[in-house]
Structure 1
Amino acid sequence: MRHLHSSLSLTRRCLRIDKPRDTGIWFQKRHQTSTTDIKPVDLAYDLTSPSSLTSPDQSLILCHGLFGSKQNWRSLAKTFAQRLGMPVYTLDLRNHGASPHVEPHSYSAMALDISQFIQKQNLKKVNLLGHSMGGKAVMALALNKEINGPLRSLIVVDMSPASGKISSEFAAYTKGMLEIEEAEIKTKSEADKILQKYEHSLPTRQFLLTNTIHSSSGHLSFRIPLHLLSRSIPSIGDFPYHPGEVTWEGPTLFLKGEHSKYLNRHNIPTAKEFFPNMKLEVLDAGHWVHAERPMETVSAVEKFVKGVE
């Protein structure tokens, strides 16, 4: 859980959401790439099974945020499985963790990846949860009528379906990580010295370095595709649907961090327009709601999932 807490400041700055851009020109740009042009990939995942299977026809899928991975949810996955009595799948989204590196890094593509995972696992009644970047990915799936059939309920943790710019600091982080690879160093302490030029926060640097691996030559490198993600900055801030274009009528829970600005008075009405049957619950936390308030998050999700008819 320490890395979840330490990544709070990083995620807040890298996924800062500005006011939605709803001009006609922007709308056209967002829809130039058809989902028929996207080839889904097989996602890496972990499966956590409950000791007592009380909801055998259901499952819970967890999707992480930017720079995260399935390992960030390992502890909570165990708790969810026991409390809900159903299998819990934690995914590595494309270009993260052990999943394939491939373009485009868009929410339409991530939604298709998740849909393919659901089909291959033959899951029928899916409760789908996503945080931050993962939150946008699961919303994109829910709003795609061609693939949302197995969806039973949707849980979005501190993210809105609004488009906005990504902080320029994201480019600085990728530049620092690329410099680490080019330096051919062997230890995280050496890597940290390089990152200090780009980020003063030690917890943030530690979180970035959780993505490091050792290459065959013994040098430190990153398991995330830095050049690809750098090119994908606009897509990370984007959202594939326009308010009023499509809705998902199913039960939806938005979990907001009281001290976070990702869900706010400007974009909550937009979320309501996309998801008319949404419920909003606010917890005393920042953007990393599930890390700062894990038991409260579990309780809120348990009450919501068990209350869905």
Structure 2
Amino acid sequence: MIFKSSIHRASTVFSSEVPQTLRKRCLSTVLPVELAHDEHIPADGNRSHRPLLILHGFFGSKRNWQSLSKAFMRDLGRPVYTLDLRNHGSSPHVRPMTYTHMAADVFNFCQKHSLRDISLMGHSMGGKVAMALALHPELPSNLLADLIVSDIAPVRAKASQDTVQHIHAMEIIEANNISTRKEADEIMSKHEKDPNVRAFLLTNLEITKAKPLKFKIPIDILKEGRPEIESFPYAPGERSWDGRALFIKGKKSKYINRHNIPLINQFFQQHQLKELDTSHWVHAELPNEYRKLIVDFITQ
């Protein structure tokens, strides 16, 4: 097995390989960025054929998927890539924070690494990025083999007060010039009661001995982009994708529900819907059951 971690700076020119329609949907002054990634390569050295790409959610990073990525590589015998989306993890900080731009970033990554027949998987915000790429009118026919979406629907949702509170807590943490993770957790606990969610959010802290705590993610850009993140770039009936798709719902989660399942049907007519007895964090709460659903789907 070969494991490699990589980070790249923002592109200085807009790649000629990005579809023309993606250019039209993007602001002309904004370029796709080269995304930081981790890769797990099977023993046969295959790096490009039938890989699994994993996209994290809002406030997440590729680090959240390390254990599952290794397991997927072993189970599937295929290369597995986990990406840091723009303004997350080790990827560049850049405006705007839209699904069209994030989809362009992922497409750019696929082209640069000569990937084909991809199983593209995303959780929450990452699921919307994956759907946005699948629905793109100039998606190459040999790029996507499977789409896997974890606990999110292709909807334009109302503002999440949880996300608003999380961003507000991060702003307070930075403004208070504190120096320990314990202090940060105390502030965050006033805005988020679940200790597991707090721990997840605080993985974004950059802790150094010489400076007050700061977050590695650009809070101002994420705050500015939050309304876009809660939206979706396509309206029902505007686009559809006829490939194989798996949607995994957390039974205790509201993100996929009886109101928006018909929208999933409109966009992805060949989809399957599976349910796990979890909240929104399906992959973290039942990782073995989650992994089995995905491996069975990809290999069926």
Q: Same fold (TM over 0.5)?
A: yes
| Residue 293 of structure 2 corresponds to residue 286 of structure 1 | no
Which residue of the partner structure matches residue 23 of structure 1?
none
For residues 200 and 237 of structure 1, the distance between their equivalents in structure 2, rounded to whole angstroms, comes to 22
Which residue of the partner structure matches residue 6 of structure 1?
none
Q: Is the 8 A contact 2:165 2:191 kept in 1?
A: yes
Query: CA offset at residue 169 of structure 1?
Result: 3.5
Q: 1:233 to 1:191 in 2, by over 3 A?
A: same
For residues 194 and 283 of structure 1, the distance between their equivalents in structure 2, rounded to whole angstroms, comes to 32
| Residue 167 of structure 2 corresponds to residue 178 of structure 1 | no
| Residue 205 of structure 2 corresponds to residue 212 of structure 1 | yes
Mapping of residues 105-144 of structure 1, within 5 Å: 105-144=97-136
Query: CA offset at residue 239 of structure 1?
Result: 0.2
Unaligned runs of 5+ in 1: 1-32
Which residue of the partner structure matches residue 95 of structure 1?
87
Query: CA offset at residue 53 of structure 1?
Result: 6.4
SS at match of 1:160: coil
Q: Is the 8 A contact 1:142 1:148 kept in 2?
A: no
Query: CA offset at residue 198 of structure 1?
Result: 2.7
Query: CA offset at residue 294 of structure 1?
Result: 1.3
Q: 1:258 to 1:217 in 2, by over 3 A?
A: same
TM-score by length of 2: 0.86
Q: 1:141 to 1:81 in 2, by over 3 A?
A: same
Q: 1:234 to 1:148 in 2, by over 3 A?
A: farther
TM-score by length of 1: 0.84
| Residue 72 of structure 2 corresponds to residue 80 of structure 1 | yes
Which residue of the partner structure matches residue 50 of structure 1?
42
Amino acid in the other structure paired with 1:234? P
Amino acid in the other structure paired with 1:179? I
Which residue of the partner structure matches residue 29 of structure 1?
none
Q: Is the 8 A contact 2:41 2:47 kept in 1?
A: no
Count how many residue pairs are aligned between Structure 1 and Structure 2: 275
CA displacement, residues 282-306 of structure 1 (integer Å, 9 cap, x when unaligned): 2222211111221122111111111
CA displacement, residues 26-67 of structure 1 (integer Å, 9 cap, x when unaligned): xxxxxxx82363421111100012345689721000001111
Mapping of residues 219-258 of structure 1, within 5 Å: 219-258=212-251
2:265 corresponds to which of 257, 265, 272: 272
Amino acid in the other structure paired with 2:204? N
Higher relative contact order (CA 8 A, sep 6+): 1
After TM superposition, the structure 1 stretch with the greater mean CA deviation from structure 2, 206-215 or 102-111, is 206-215
Q: Is the 8 A contact 2:48 2:115 kept in 1?
A: no
After TM superposition, the structure 1 stretch with the greater mean CA deviation from structure 2, 291-300 or 60-69, is 291-300
Q: Is the 8 A contact 2:204 2:217 kept in 1?
A: yes
SS at match of 2:263: helix
Q: 1:257 to 1:148 in 2, by over 3 A?
A: farther
SS at match of 1:77: helix
Compute the RMSD of aligned alpha carbons: 1.9
The structure with the greater share of residues assigned to helix is 1
Q: Percent identity?
A: 46
Amino acid in the other structure paired with 1:101? H
CA displacement, residues 64-87 of structure 1 (integer Å, 9 cap, x when unaligned): 111111011000001100111100
2:252 corresponds to which of 259, 276, 301: 259
Query: CA offset at residue 201 of structure 1?
Result: 3.4
| Residue 158 of structure 2 corresponds to residue 165 of structure 1 | yes
Which residue of the partner structure matches residue 34 of structure 1?
25
Unaligned runs of 5+ in 2: 1-23
Q: Is the 8 A contact 2:48 2:114 kept in 1?
A: no
SS at match of 1:198: coil
